Structure 1
Amino acid sequence: MIIYLKSQQSRIKIFNNSLKSPTSKWNNNKLRNRRERSTQEKMVNGGCKADGSLNESRFDEPMPWIGIYVAGAALACGIAMTIDALHGFRYKKFWFPCKFFALNATILTLIAIAIKFSMDLNATMPHRQDQLAKVSSSAFICAVVGNLLPSLGTMKNTELFVNVVALAILVITAVANICIQMSTGVIFVFWIEHAFIMLLMLILLAIACSLSLAIPTTKYYLDIKYSEKLKLTNIECSRKKHLSVAEGLREDLKKYWILAYSSGPQFVIGRSAPCTASGAFCLLNSLILVEAILRTYLMPWSLKFCKGESDYKWSTTMVLISQTIAVGIGTISPTVRWFMAINFSCPKKAKKARGREIGVEKYWVKKLLLWQMKPLDLNICGRHGRKLAHKTKYQIFRLLIVVQQGIVLSCQSIRFASIVLVSRFLDFKRFIKGQNNISNNDSELESRHSPDTNLSRFVIHLDGEDELVDLMMKNNGDATAHWIKIGEKQKPKNLIELLEKVDSSLAFTGVKDFDSDKVPSLGFSEPPNCWALPVVTLTSIALAIPSIDRELIEKLVTSVHEGLKYIREIEDNLDAKKDLKNVRIAEEIVWSGVELDGRWLELDLNDMALQGKGIKETIKALSDIAKEKFMEYAETHFIHMNEWFLEEDPSRWCIRMLAANSMYRICESILLDIEYASNQRLFEKLSLMICTLFSACFTNLQHVISKQCRQSGIEEREQNIRYAVLLFGKTEGIIRILDKKKIQESNPGQLVHIDDWHLLCKKTDTLSSISCSTDKESAMSSLYISIE
């Protein structure tokens, strides 16, 4: 042990001596230098240079990708404006309602991204495409504001205020940033172009604010006039006893459409003087951008650019192209609105325009007048302080009223001047061509496009829009026919073929026979029925019947699938209490399995049909399986089933229990009738029951279509009536079949639910049986008397 310790001590001494040698010192210095270099590299990667100052060498690397992001946002706005423009041209809505490119948080965010170049205060942009991108970014703001104006009419008051304030903040910030860039030298060319575009920005913003002040009052006036004319329309619609149901609905829809179309908020805003005048400003904005681009490339000596590299590098060209395209597309809708406003292509119309007085209607300033007169509720500085505040507020609103009147008058003057200039040009053009019979041509044109005077009574217009009544009728008088044709292309052909088989004498037998009172209930009470669940259950039973032609089954399934769409439409509109929510969900889930896989709650109906059992055995098997599943689901979901049944509403049973209960009751009701002699006869009987259930349900179509026309807010009115017209186009064939076979309800809307129909059919059957027995007794008594 002592020897081992001595050897270890000698080794330690040798190692210490080796560290003191020159070679070991050199190695230590090398290790220290390596550690210092790694520390410096970490500092550089962390944002600092070797001397500790900020490392800016990589700050500009993501800038091209930011440029791509800006170009993408501009293209997204351009695509949205393109879709709205195409939509307007396709459906002849030349006021171009904003459907995709509307003023909301998403669009404002996209605009804020797309105009980054106007907001960038210190990026280096020396080349011509860089400076042109600055101009295109500014012009892009004007184009989008001009496109957004009609969407102001679709907003509630609070939403309107918030969105207009957000737009104003964005535009004012852009104007301020452009001015800063011009003063600091970031923008060093195109000063005149920027100055004009900034002026147009502020004008368009003022128009947006002017419209937002008038929109609440305008909607109020429109609602009053709509209510008055709606009463007149309802009275006239109730007097058409000589027309069939389908023809009567077609005439009613024309009237409702004219009411909704002429009072649509976007249409009212689109035909107003400020909105139409904005088209002239947007056109001027695009011309300024075109002038800047042409001057840059065709007159390069007139401009002097700088050397150096742009921070955005190659992406600037992409931004310029995308924004120029967006500006071009965004100019289409406002310009066409402007051209439509001055579309007085004959001198007679021009004279009407010249004779029209230019003035500010009450609805433009009524909101400001109300705010001006409303006292302030302030507790400051006593009575004198309140008096001073009230006077100050009065003068401020007086100034705002003058500004509002000035904006409206200026826009009306622009429209008036446009009409006069266009009419003078047309007069000169006709004079050159030697066309002196102008009045004859005009009268022929008017007679060719003479509007329906009966329908023109239903046009809703504001003060100062009297001359637009004929124009609105000419441009949109046949809109209902167009939408009805679109609906007819989607009509349910298989369902119509199925309904044509219904005999008027057996119209509602299926409503009475599908559920018998003799069947004992599985619970303490029965859940309510919806129209669709019995139809789905009967179809499931039909699929399980053996030896039925596959083509007949496929045709039945297709017909039921088409019919269920309209049943759901009816129940969506007429189930006000939403008591059938679970029952309807059960129907949708069961039908999905039946249609796609031929399965009813995991039971393969095709396998059951292939087993080749008799009719009674098949129906009894389905009934037993349904009862079994009902008990199974009840025990699974509820431990104390009896107590739950006593307390809980059956409409709140779980979905599978509702489906199983429906299958059990319908199967047991079928088993009570032993009339069926063959599989084919049972299939035909089930098809007839399905058909009669459809017929009874579809008697509510008239009520659903009328309800869609009458009950809606001003923002959704036009859309709802268009939906009603499309629904009528799809179901006109069904309505005509029911009307032809006299299968129509006398009071539409009174019998909505299937349980009401079922109860009525049972009462009718009872009364008819009583009358028959009475007739038999009287006949027997008369026979007895005659024998005596």
Structure 2
Amino acid sequence: MDDYFMDCFDRSPNCSQFQDEYILKETNQKDYGGPMLGIGIYVAAVSLVCSLAMAADAYQGFRQRKLWFPCKFFGLNAASLTLLAVAMKLPVDLSSSMGGKADQLAKLSSTAFMCTIIGNLMPSIGPMDNRDILLNVIAVSILVITIFVNVCIQLKTREISIEAFEAYGISIEHVVVMFFMLLLLVILSFSALAVPISKRILELKYRDMHKTVSTEEPKESNTSREDIFKDVVRKYRLLAETGSPQFVMACSATSSTSGVICLMVAVLLVEAEVRMWLYFQVAPDSSSDYQWSTVLILWIQSFVVIVGTIAPAFRWFTAVSFKCSKKESNNYRNELKVEGYWIQPLAEWKEIPLLPLRIRNRKCRKLIQNAKNLILNFCTRVQVLIVVASKTVCLISVFVARPILSGLDYCKRLQEKVTRNSHKGSDTEPGVELDLNRYVLRLEGEVDLPERILKNISIAVDRSIQKAKRQQPEKLMELLEKSSGFKGIVEFDSDQVRSLHSEEPPNTWSLPVVTLTSIAISLPNIKSHIADSLLCSVNEGLSYARLIDQTLENIEDWINLKDAANFVWVRVELYRKWLDEDLQRIALEGKTYRENLQRLADIAKDYVMVLRDVNRGREHEPLNWPVKVIAANSMYRISQTLLLQHQDNHQSNEELFEQLSVMIADILFACLTNLPGVITRKCFCNAIEKREESVKLAARLLGETEAILNTLQQRELPTLDPNQVAYIDEWRTSIKQNNFAASTALKSCDDKVI
């Protein structure tokens, strides 16, 4: 029984009143402490989610040999900020008494956890636009300042220092970690100022290099087409990766300094935990309302700190290794130079007048203008101080690491020399002979990338292509072998079919293929494995046809046309249904293919005629038709065309199925002549955030379609303007006008670029 209950006998004869108050206090404490265990478990679970996301980023960095560790799974956004707000429950809790060893260490691990998170998130501000950078930095600042203020209150009220200063001795760690947390916030905030200008500089350099790459000719006239494409992909991969805002931010001096700070914070936390463990020689205990969940939070967040330190520490090490690869210079003034893009935003803001402020008093306007200039001047000095200090830290790290890295590099070169002598006459790595350093984008003051980094990027491209070669569309190749010309492009839709409306929507590559496949499945007496084989072949072909449709110049106007093919194909492939009609049931119920074709034509006509009632007044805008109506119009025209072509009814179901397969093969073959242009376009991407993924897609396409590209090179093609070859209707018009035959003048598909 505590002192409060014992003193009740001395304070008043009404002891029962104090006893009731004591019982009420104990009951309220139990009621309050009950949910706190669940809250603690929730905090531990959220911390574990953060650790898994950072571990995934670390794994991807090692796997892809990107030791600057891009933020792919854990970046600065609304979701991560929400998780952080939950994970920071302990250091901002002012209402719970937490005097146990685990409680004190858990608060320290939470603040260390916050430091590690800031260091990890720094590269993720690179791809953001100016508004997102401002909002996210403000959100992080509010969270960090809240943690700082609450911890300071606990230090002042000795909530953290209860028995800790004398017994546990970890108050100094709290102070140091809090200082590092504020320092990391300042570094993050001022580093964000340089992002818009650096992105602008990189964008200009990227477009200049794009002009250079697009006009370059192969060094050797006998270079194969595959090698030419490989070189183009390598060049654009270098442009995309070295020009990535995340890469530039991760390799900056401020990012490497944040890595040093995160490493120091992790060492401080480990030192405090080891010292606590050795001093007491017992496991940490908790005396708070969070009960044993505090220990769980402690170990999970300590694990997060260790895992989260990997990326910032390796970014620092990578930046140091880049510097060490550079020839040693005694001109330290240039090494500590502050480039213009660091302070240019502040200089631009200083020149902006305060026009939006409607203040008539001249003295007030002058006072506000002077205050603004004073604040910006102070921020400029702080920015210069941060950059110089960061470069100083990097320079000191280089002095320490240069002898070690030089020794390791010497041993590595010696080993490579021995290996090269033992394998004389072997082939060299592909792409090494290309001068890759010309295609690296750099900001002012950045060092040249080491040769091994450039070689790794080149080898990564070759590996992507080789991996894609093992995934070539074999079923599609079997289907394309049935094509011997391009008659199917004209035959699938006849001009003799009466239109249901005055205007018809244009054809895309995908929709006729989907419609013809649907008709083929609906034919009677077709074996299931043959129909399934056709579906597999068409599915592989449509993946490329969609990419080609997406590269059309009028993509925004043709959205409904492209959605119609995707809408129908999902149902055809998965459920064997065209819209709501069961194709397998139609195949079983129909006696002849003419009956099934007429049935499909009637169903499609009903869909199209609904347009007159539902969308009255918009029938003359075929590009705006609903996707079902566009699909039904295609089905009606193709079904009627096939009925006109087979009026004699002497052809068998299997023969018609084979004819439809040939039509599909002809259309897909013509469509795939655009692949070289698609690969070229995927290498160049306007959106800076999507460039790397776009180049990766180009490499994958090059590997997957190698056999198709070789076949296209051997096929004779109609003479079409490069602006026409992407459109199926242009093919139809050209073939009709020129009465195309295999012996006419032909043009290689290598000259066809979308």
Q: Scaled by the length of structure 2, what TM-score is found?
A: 0.85
The corresponding residue for 2:11 is none
Deviation at 1:512?
Answer: 1.1
Deviation at 1:87?
Answer: 1.0
Does the 8 A contact of 2:497 with 2:637 survive in 1? yes
Deviation at 1:572?
Answer: 2.7
Amino acid corresponding to residue 143 of structure 2 in structure 1: L
The corresponding residue for 1:487 is 468
Amino acid corresponding to residue 351 of structure 1 in structure 2: E
What fraction of aligned residue pairs are identical, expressed as a percent?
38
CA distance in 1, matches of 2:371, 2:632: 74
Is 2:37 aligned against 1:64?
yes
CA distance in 1, matches of 2:219, 2:405: 47
The corresponding residue for 1:168 is 141
Amino acid corresponding to residue 222 of structure 1 in structure 2: L
Question: For each residue in 1:601-642, what CA deviation from the matched residue of structure 2 results, as whole angstroms up to 9, or x when unmatched?
Answer: 5555445555684xxx52x3234223422443355564499x
Does the 8 A contact of 1:244 with 1:739 survive in 2? no
Is 2:361 aligned against 1:365?
no
Question: For each residue in 1:295-349, what CA deviation from the matched residue of structure 2 results, as whole angstroms up to 9, or x when unmatched?
Answer: 0111229x999x9931211111111111111111110100111111222698x75
The corresponding residue for 1:3 is none
Deviation at 1:255?
Answer: 1.4
Question: For each residue in 1:410-437, what CA deviation from the matched residue of structure 2 results, as whole angstroms up to 9, or x when unmatched?
Answer: 111111111111123467x78xxxx9x8
Deviation at 1:402?
Answer: 1.6
Residue of 419, 422, 440 corresponding to 1:459: 440
Is 2:50 aligned against 1:77?
yes
Does the 8 A contact of 2:322 with 2:448 survive in 1? no
CA distance in 1, matches of 2:98, 2:578: 69
Does the 8 A contact of 2:51 with 2:304 survive in 1? yes
* CA pair 732-184 structure 1, distance change in 2 beyond 3 A: same
Map 1:709-728 onto structure 2 (within 5 A).
709-728=683-702
- Poorly superposed stretches of 4+, deviation over 6 Å: 47-54, 237-241, 353-356, 437-440, 445-450, 766-771
Does the 8 A contact of 2:724 with 2:730 survive in 1? no
CA distance in 2, matches of 1:383, 1:235: 58
CA distance in 1, matches of 2:700, 2:741: 40
Does the 8 A contact of 2:125 with 2:246 survive in 1? yes
CA distance in 2, matches of 1:564, 1:329: 43
Map 1:648-663 onto structure 2 (within 5 A).
648-663=620-635
Residue of 66, 69, 87 corresponding to 1:96: 69
Amino acid corresponding to residue 535 of structure 1 in structure 2: V
* CA pair 635-369 structure 1, distance change in 2 beyond 3 A: closer
Is 2:715 aligned against 1:741?
yes
Residue of 183, 186, 199 corresponding to 2:159: 186
CA distance in 2, matches of 1:53, 1:297: 32
Residue of 742, 753, 762 corresponding to 2:727: 753
Is 2:262 aligned against 1:273?
no
The corresponding residue for 1:325 is 303
Quick check: 672-681 or 315-324, which moved more? 672-681
The corresponding residue for 2:425 is none
* CA pair 662-277 structure 1, distance change in 2 beyond 3 A: same
Amino acid corresponding to residue 80 of structure 1 in structure 2: A
CA distance in 2, matches of 1:218, 1:754: 43
The corresponding residue for 1:396 is 375
Q: Secondary structure at the match of 1:521?
A: coil
Is 2:705 aligned against 1:731?
yes
Map 1:324-343 onto structure 2 (within 5 A).
324-343=302-321
Q: Secondary structure at the match of 1:260?
A: helix
CA distance in 2, matches of 1:426, 1:644: 75
Deviation at 1:459?
Answer: 0.8
CA distance in 2, matches of 1:498, 1:767: 21
Unaligned runs of 5+ in 1: 1-46, 772-788
The corresponding residue for 1:262 is 242
Deviation at 1:724?
Answer: 2.6
Is 2:543 aligned against 1:574?
no
CA distance in 2, matches of 1:766, 1:699: 17
Does the 8 A contact of 2:262 with 2:309 survive in 1? yes
CA distance in 2, matches of 1:740, 1:631: 41
CA distance in 2, matches of 1:267, 1:606: 53
The corresponding residue for 2:665 is 691
Question: For each residue in 1:231-259, what CA deviation from the matched residue of structure 2 results, as whole angstroms up to 9, or x when unmatched?
Answer: 11111269998655544332221111111
Is 2:111 aligned against 1:138?
yes
* CA pair 451-392 structure 1, distance change in 2 beyond 3 A: farther
* CA pair 82-744 structure 1, distance change in 2 beyond 3 A: farther
* CA pair 669-242 structure 1, distance change in 2 beyond 3 A: farther
CA distance in 1, matches of 2:49, 2:696: 28
How many residue pairs get aligned? The number is 707
* CA pair 216-469 structure 1, distance change in 2 beyond 3 A: farther
CA distance in 2, matches of 1:660, 1:485: 41
The corresponding residue for 2:459 is 478
Does the 8 A contact of 1:246 with 1:736 survive in 2? no
Q: Secondary structure at the match of 2:70?
A: coil
Question: For each residue in 1:152-188, what CA deviation from the matched residue of structure 2 results, as whole angstroms up to 9, or x when unmatched?
Answer: 1011011101111111121122112111101101101
CA distance in 1, matches of 2:345, 2:432: 35
Computing the radius of gyration over CA atoms, which structure comes out larger, 1 or 2? 1
Deviation at 1:384?
Answer: 4.5
Question: For each residue in 1:122-176, what CA deviation from the matched residue of structure 2 results, as whole angstroms up to 9, or x when unmatched?
Answer: 3111211111101101100110000000001011011101111111121122112
CA distance in 2, matches of 1:557, 1:768: 29
Does the 8 A contact of 1:73 with 1:114 survive in 2? yes
The corresponding residue for 2:193 is 213
* CA pair 192-445 structure 1, distance change in 2 beyond 3 A: farther
Deviation at 1:478?
Answer: 2.3
Does the 8 A contact of 1:529 with 1:755 survive in 2? yes
Is 2:535 aligned against 1:563?
no
Amino acid corresponding to residue 701 of structure 2 in structure 1: L
Residue of 676, 683, 691 corresponding to 1:702: 676
Amino acid corresponding to residue 533 of structure 1 in structure 2: L
Deviation at 1:350?
Answer: 6.3
Question: For each residue in 1:560-584, what CA deviation from the matched residue of structure 2 results, as whole angstroms up to 9, or x when unmatched?
Answer: 1211222222223326344444444
Map 1:494-509 onto structure 2 (within 5 A).
494-503=475-484, 506=485, 508-509=486-487
CA distance in 2, matches of 1:552, 1:631: 29
Does the 8 A contact of 1:627 with 1:664 survive in 2? yes
* CA pair 575-539 structure 1, distance change in 2 beyond 3 A: farther
Quick check: 199-208 or 676-685, which moved more? 676-685
CA distance in 1, matches of 2:305, 2:538: 50
Deviation at 1:748?
Answer: 4.3
Does the 8 A contact of 2:323 with 2:398 survive in 1? no
The corresponding residue for 1:116 is 89
CA distance in 2, matches of 1:218, 1:592: 44
Question: For each residue in 1:263-307, what CA deviation from the matched residue of structure 2 results, as whole angstroms up to 9, or x when unmatched?
Answer: 000000011111012111111100000001000111229x999x9
CA distance in 1, matches of 2:687, 2:547: 20
Is 2:737 aligned against 1:763?
yes
Quick check: 694-703 or 90-99, which moved more? 694-703
Amino acid corresponding to residue 514 of structure 1 in structure 2: F
Deviation at 1:403?
Answer: 1.4
CA distance in 2, matches of 1:345, 1:392: 40
CA distance in 1, matches of 2:544, 2:603: 30
* CA pair 718-521 structure 1, distance change in 2 beyond 3 A: same
Quick check: 481-490 or 332-341, which moved more? 481-490
* CA pair 336-743 structure 1, distance change in 2 beyond 3 A: farther
Map 1:302-701 onto structure 2 (within 5 A).
309-343=287-321, 349=326, 351=328, 357-377=335-355, 380=359, 382-425=361-404, 441=414, 452-468=433-449, 470=451, 472-503=453-484, 506=485, 508-574=486-552, 576-601=554-579, 603-606=581-584, 609=587, 613=591, 617-618=592-593, 620-634=594-608, 636=610, 638-639=612-613, 647-673=619-645, 677-701=651-675
The corresponding residue for 1:19 is none
Does the 8 A contact of 1:344 with 1:423 survive in 2? no
Does the 8 A contact of 1:74 with 1:322 survive in 2? yes
